[in-house]
Amino acid sequence: MQLEDACPDDLVVFGTAINVRYSARSALEPDVVVARAADARGWRARLTGTPLLVAEVLSPDSVLRDLNLKKAACERFGIPSYWVIDPDLDRPGLRAFEPDGGTYAEVAHVTGGEGFRAARPFGVEIVPDRLVARLRSR
């Protein structure tokens, strides 16, 4: 919701399973994708252009896949921003990666009430505590 609230009209946030093709034989389904609205025309669970942001939410079963396989695929595919969100209720976190000389470099690592002010794919502040606030109130 934080991304959707800040998203400009020429971009779109997908928070449901969307198929992102990384090659002719390879596709993954990220947890969250931001893409150009023009690349989503006629969308049928598949994006026609390169996403601007791919974000993965960690689970006990996905840690290695999200931090290695999916991150490497996004890096090879040239996705400008890759975020990994840890929804740990005691210490939620967000790590952001962006290209630096052909490989991803970690540009931010925030936890709890710390804010991450993203410039890519658009200006938005993400605070990990806010991402899990509803889960904590249950």
Q: Each residue's pLDDT tens digit in the chain (138 positions)? A: 889 999 999 999 988 767 777 666 777 788 999 999 888 765 555 677 889 999 999 998 888 888 898 999 899 999 999 999 999 999 999 999 999 988 999 999 999 999 999 999 999 999 999 999 888 776
In this structure, what CATH number is given to the domain that contains residue 63?
Answer: 3.90.1570.10
How much is the pLDDT for 125? 96
User: How is residue 73 annotated by DSSP?
Assistant: H
The total of structural domains in the chain comes to 1
Q: Which domain holds residue 71?
A: 2-136
Alpha-carbon 6 to chain mean position: 15
Which pLDDT value is given to residue 41? Answer: 63
pTM assigned to the model: 0.91
